[in-house]
Amino acid sequence: MTFSALQIAALINGKTEGDVSISVTSFGKIEEAQNGQLAFLANPKYEEYLYSTKASVIIINEALELKEPVTATLIRVPDAYSAFAKLLSTYQQMMQQQLNGVQQPVYISASASYGQNVFIGAFAYLGDNVKVGDNTKIYPNVYLGNNVKVGDNSIIHPGVKIYHDCMIGSNVIIHAGTVIGSDGFGFAPQADGSFKKVPQIGNVIVEDNVEIGANATIDRATIGSTIIRSGAKLDNLIQIAHNVEIGNSTVVAAQSGISGSTKVGKGVMIGGQVGIVGHINIGDGAKINAQSGVSKSVEAGKAVTGSPAHDYTSALRSQAISRKLPELEKRIKELEALVKQLINERVA
């Protein structure tokens, strides 16, 4: 697709400087972009490339003061990063709108239904009573079990498996290889040392505007629902156990795992490789540093780090002290020597 600088500026409510008729056909990083490409500058560390890049059009912050002449056409906006993200989203939507219809072969149950302007890719499986909303894209090799519901404008990428009875909201994105609704890890220990499987008869509810990364796993509840609240963003390779609840607009980075029945509040930030035990509460707005092991509930707004996780500020102080240990050891030995010398002098 080809867009002029004037068209781009209209999409992001920007002000142009330079040739408004110049066109671009693709995107590029400001340090690598070529003629005919669009770039953006949000991080001041990359400002030097603004004056040497070959990009035809560049989105910049409106407050940026130029230090040298620029050959590219500039589009000034309040926040270049947000504007560029909006532009990419618009471009992606335009590309996805070209996907329409049902490819063959697929299996669609006679009792399944789907809305207008949907795309269902080859080798997809839609079980009994499945309902898919308007403008939703179901990519190849997706499995939707019996009674699964998917809302409007959602995107289910290749190879996603959504087990029976699970509910996916509108404007949801689920990336390739993710499994939603697999059995929770429930086993009852027996007198002979064996384990008996506890049937997992609940489901998973993913509310609106959620994004789930690739190869994530979200287990169905034992009874009731495992719930991902609206606006939550989950990275790749995440494990969410049975009956967990993730609050609104919470973000969880890759390789983190949350054990059963834990409740995570809204606006929580969880770093990569975090492990959280079951049956605890993470308060609204809490922050958990990467590689932390959380073994007890975290208060709202509190930041924790380490394993076991503890107060973030205290941990930083401890780290600062630990770096000074060699120096402190040397000073202690000097003090011991001085004390010993004073004692010897007094005895003498």
Task: Tell me the catalytic residues.
Answer: 242
Token couple for 310? 């503890």
**How far is residue 249's CA from residue 271's CA, in Å, rounded to a whole number?**
15
287-288 vs 269-270, strand pairing mode: parallel
Residue 105, preceding peptide bond in cis (omega within 30° of 0): yes
**How far is residue 269's CA from residue 220's CA, in Å, rounded to a whole number?**
23
Find residue 57's DSSP bridge partners.
38, 73
Tell which residue, 88, 74, 94, has the closest CA to residue 14: 74
- CB 110 within 8 Å of CB 127: no
The vertex-212 CA angle with 126 and 138, nearest 5°, equals 25
Tell which residue, 302, 256, 255, 252, has the closest CA to residue 282: 302
